[in-house]
Amino acid sequence: MKVLVTGGAGYIGTELVSLLAQLPVVEQIIVYDNLSRANYNLFLGNRIPNHNKIKFIKGELLDSRGLRLALKGVDVVYHLAARVTTPFAHSDGHLYEQINHWGTAELVYAVEETGVKKFVYTSSAGVYGSSEQPVDENATPHPTTFYAISKLRGEEHVRRLSDKMDTYIFRCGNVYGYSRSMRFDAVINRFVFEANFLRRITIHGDGSQRRSFIHIEQLALALANVLHSSIPGGTYNLVERTISIMDVVDVLKQVIPDLEFILINQHIRFSHLNIQPNQKINKALGIGSAQSFADELKIFLDKFSF
């Protein structure tokens, strides 16, 4: 089996590629990435097991010729590449559209001309907009940021493939957890960094806003398990838990008792996004850590060099 991973050098991609390389059924992995985040960590440190399976192509989603060349002989496509900039999801709408919307369209056009059998797209739970009550896949999307709008438009292109191949759209919660290619603009990752080195966390708003999260290891495992899972193609939410920002701080304070926090613009109440975990899909894809949230944060903290 030959697999192509767009955005394979990114936060999720680094972990997914490492897992795919360990699967006997996977003969080759093509990492297709433009390295726009200047993140080279996939290429550094300890060698990935079975690294001889991995091939890197530096390319753009809008390069239709480059995409078609990279897709030759590919059986499965994981489309992870996207413009993601937290917390500035309201800025630079053109760039989000160019990459997340039209870049996805170009990839879909190219895939339609190939023998690809399975297509996996990582969308965002942000397409639902905001909700205080738990929402599931039956809820009508109502994106409120340029980022979420562009991801939803990308979904529309991906669905065109559903009558030609197994097509999966996963609306992922906020991703957190250690990876050598991790993003520090993700809220829990930033908190853990600040807690470890500064002993003080900066919170925007009053901290009551609730968000849905999934650990990077659980997400990467779920995506890798799609290769041999029997779940039908469709649109699914991938989240583990929904908690408030202050809940995250409280757990960190259990781990680091002398931790302090400061509220900035605490008069501002941010919207909630409460996603109902799809327990059936989580079970089918192997999502379900035996560790508590506090234990996950302890392990995360131990990954820092000092």
Average pLDDT of 132-137? 94
**Tokens 């899972």 belong to residue:** 229
- Of 209-213, 234-238, 289-293, minimum mean pLDDT range: 289-293
| Per-chain mean pLDDT for the chain | 94
Fold of 177-211+241-274+290-302: UDP-galactose 4-epimerase; domain 1 (3.90.25)
Q: Where are the domains of the chain?
A: 2-175+213-238, 177-211+241-274+290-302
Q: Which CATH architecture has domain 2-175+213-238?
A: 3-Layer(aba) Sandwich (3.40)
Position 267 confidence tier, pLDDT thresholds 50, 70, 90:
confident
Position 290 confidence tier, pLDDT thresholds 50, 70, 90:
confident
Return the percentage of the chain with pLDDT > 90, whole number.
Answer: 89
Choose among 288, 280, 285: nearest CA to 229: 285
Question: Does residue 244 carry a pLDDT above 50?
Answer: yes
Position 270 confidence tier, pLDDT thresholds 50, 70, 90:
confident
pTM (predicted TM-score) = 0.94
Return the percentage of the chain with pLDDT > 70, whole number.
Answer: 97
| Torsional class of 167: left (φ above 0), alpha (ψ -120 to 50), beta (otherwise) | beta
pLDDT in tens, 9-61: 999 999 999 999 999 999 999 999 999 888 899 999 889 999 999 999 999 99
Choose among 33, 34, 25: nearest CA to 2: 25
